[in-house]
Chains A and B, each alone.
Chain A
Amino acid sequence: SYVLTQPPSVSVAPGQTARITCGGNNIGDKSVHWYQQMPGQAPVLVVYDDTDRPSETPERFSGSSSGNTATLTISGVEAGDEADYYCQVWDTTSDHVFGPGTKVTVL
C-alpha cells in the first residue's frame, strides 16, 4: 500500500515562511492535494494538483512536488493559519491516501 509521511509539527513565527513536507515513493509522479483543518471543523482544500489553488485560498499558500517529496509553503504566516494540514494522493492500488497530518503552530 502507498504510504505518505509528514512531520508531526511545524512551528513558525508570524510573518515567516512555513514549509510542510509530504513524503511518498515517487510522489512527484502523482497529483498531491493539501487540506487545512481547524480544530473541530471539516477539512478545507487549500491546494490541489500539486500547485493549483481554489479561488478562496490566499496566494500565501503554494505547493510544489518533485521526486519523493511534496511541499506546502505558507508565506507570511498569520495567526489564523494555525491548524492541522494534511496531504492526500490517489494511488491505483491504495485509492485515496492521506498523510498523518502536520500541526502548524504560530509562535
Chain B
Amino acid sequence: QVQLVQSGAEVKKPGSSVKVSCQASGGAFTSYGFNWVRQAPGQGLEWMGGKVPIFEKSNYAQHFQGRVTITTDQSTRTTYMEMTSLRSEDTAVYFCARSGPALIGHFDLWGRGTLVIVSS
C-alpha cells in the first residue's frame, strides 16, 4: 500500500528553521507532484507549495515565497519542506500531499501530518 510517511513533531524557537520530511513508500515517485499543506490549530487548510521530483523548479504560494523551500531526493523517495524565520503563527500541522505531475488538480494521498510548535 502506498503511503506518505512524515517525520516526527518538532519544537522550535522563534527565528529558527525547521525541515520536515515525507517519504513515499511504494508506487511511482517521479510520476507525481508532492505538495505541502498546513493547518494551524482549529483552522483550515493552506497550500504552501509543491515540487515534481523530475523537475528542478518548485512552485510556492505567494504567502510563502522566500521563506519556504521544497526539495526532493529521488534516491530516497523523500520530499522535504524547510521553513526559515519561524514565528509563533507558524505553529501548525504540516501535511505532505500527492498530486498529479502538473501540480494542479486534487490531492489523492496525504501523509499523517507533522506538528511543528514554535515557542520561546
Contacts and interface: CB of A to CB of B under 8 A. Distances in A.
Given A43-B95, A95-B59, A54 B47 contact: no
B66 interface: no
Query: Chain B at the A interface: mostly helix, strand, loop or mixed?
Result: loop
A42 B47 contact: no
A88 B44 contact: no
A96 B113 contact: no
Contact of A42 (B59, B95, B108): B95
Interface string A33-72: 1010000011111001100001000000000000000000
Contact of A86 (B35, B44, B59): B44
A54 B61 contact: no
B80 interface: no
Contacts of B111: 42
Contacts of B106: 31, 33, 45, 48-49, 88
A91 to B, nearest CB: 9
A23 interface: no
User: Chain B interface: which size bin?
Assistant: 10 to 19
A42 B105 contact: no
B82 to A, nearest CB: 19
B108 A90 contact: no
Interface of A: 31, 33, 35, 41-45, 48-49, 54, 86, 88, 90, 95-101
What 4 pairs between A and B have smallest CB-CB spacing? A96-B47, A33-B106, A42-B110, A48-B106
25 contacts: A31-B106, A33-B105, A33-B106, A33-B107, A41-B112, A43-B45, A43-B95, A43-B97, A45-B108, A48-B108, A49-B105, A88-B45, A88-B106, A90-B104, A90-B105, A95-B47, A96-B37, A96-B47, A96-B104, A97-B47, A98-B44, A99-B44, A100-B44, A101-B44, A101-B45
